[in-house]
Structure 1
């Protein structure tokens, strides 16, 4: 059986002129993925199931080890927003600690948490869409993350009313640094000095999340445009191998119609992740 598309011509939709000024923030200038702290916050919520209690615990017990209450609140607002925004396309926050427990490396955890950032931050999602298009058009050579390239892509962003993106140069520079930090965490960039991206290796758990995310968005047709794989910068020549890995997982089942491969969850998309119960 084969995939229903060879990937050529598959691209993500343009997000230009999609978001209002109120929806777009520059939170990435002060808060990247922060894997350890995000994991702690997810465990706090899974334990207490109440964001008011979680915020009190976070601030009073200084789980993020920030020196001031103000900075601690800022990190809490940024990270909790990502979790509160997440819909059924991703594992629920009470499941997330169990998902992270299945991850074999910190990079695996970062690749999972990256999806919550994408769902919450329109500007990051817009920029990732632009880079995925570059990857599909030019291969890995399109993954150049020089500050000038990032700023050019941002300059081409428009709000839904047609007005242009307009932030101070110092702010866009810090935003670019924040984006590169995220890309290092998920394996697209190697070191702090690296500007040329690469195709990241996907762990088993991030692959399940990326596939589940795609399934939730596109249903039966998800293999014709595996959005989750594209978000993790997996070009079409990798898709057959990824599909084989997913089909080997007991939580997914493969079938074929007219020789074309279909993959779907056996049960609930994220039924393999139990609601987490534990102490923080």
Structure 2
């Protein structure tokens, strides 16, 4: 379970994205990555681990997330490290089926109005994991020590994206979302094939935004040049002004 080792690693993920934007292919990125790591006296083993996990998230990213080649431009629009973490977190959820399973469970609890919906204690996380059934009929079965490390890794991600506050906290709240990760989350939501995406915007749900915040978030994106309100069939709808992520090439969200 790679989350125990890597988490989001914002700075290194950003470095990989910039190398990919510069070189345009992963072979050259890999060569540059290891040259720089070894020159800084990093061990090859740790460098390989980090490279494998982070590049998996970029290589396997769905097409409705930004291509890694434009991530440096998006990161330049970010105001804080948390903004970058919230964007990279979407790649983690898309790539890691175990993380996605757990996040979906919390999304369901948040939607149901569960007052303990964002309790990330070991007890709650383990309870969720023990209900997991794999497609081959198997179940979650790891040593207690491995599971505990995974839980701590998961909480570290929650801290990075602003759900948990402080190293000891295990109960979180819905985080504030910066302008740039909000645009990414909305474009990601719109990119799904579901015509009713507005009733279940996955980017906002992955970032633990409850339904009573969506109207405010829709207003925020509609105040940019990237999104707008449209009247469709008598209903007010919010849509990208152009294609999703066009704002990246047009010089930011304005």
Shift of 1:138: 3.1
Q: What runs of 5+ residues in structure 2 fail to find an aligned partner?
A: none
Taking the aligned partners of 1:59 and 1:218, their CA distance within structure 2 comes to: 39
Q: What runs of 5+ residues in structure 1 fail to find an aligned partner?
A: 1-25
1:32/1:47 CA distance change after superposition, 3 Å: same
Shift of 1:222: 1.8
Taking the aligned partners of 2:78 and 2:96, their CA distance within structure 1 comes to: 24
1:275/1:59 CA distance change after superposition, 3 Å: farther
Comparing both chains, which one has the higher relative contact order based on Cα–Cα distances under 8 Å and sequence gaps of 6 or more? Answer: 1
Q: Which runs of 4+ in 1 moved over 2 A?
A: 63-67, 138-141, 218-221, 257-261
> Does the alignment pair 1:194 with 2:169?
yes
Is contact 1:37–1:64 with CA below 8 Å preserved after alignment? no
1:52/1:158 CA distance change after superposition, 3 Å: same
> Does the alignment pair 1:231 with 2:210?
no
Is contact 2:38–2:44 with CA below 8 Å preserved after alignment? no
Aligned to 2:144: 169
Residue 249 of structure 1 aligns to a residue in which SS?
coil
> Does the alignment pair 1:143 with 2:122?
no
Aligned to 2:8: 33
Residue 192 of structure 2 aligns to a residue in which SS?
helix
> Does the alignment pair 1:68 with 2:24?
no
1:63/1:251 CA distance change after superposition, 3 Å: farther
Please report the TM-score for the alignment, with normalisation by the length of structure 1: 0.86
Residue 272 of structure 1 aligns to a residue in which SS?
helix
Is contact 1:103–1:205 with CA below 8 Å preserved after alignment? yes
Taking the aligned partners of 1:168 and 1:275, their CA distance within structure 2 comes to: 50
Is contact 1:45–1:94 with CA below 8 Å preserved after alignment? yes
Is contact 2:17–2:69 with CA below 8 Å preserved after alignment? yes
Shift of 1:258: 4.7
Aligned to 1:4: none
Question: Bigger CA drift: 199-208 or 262-271?
Answer: 262-271
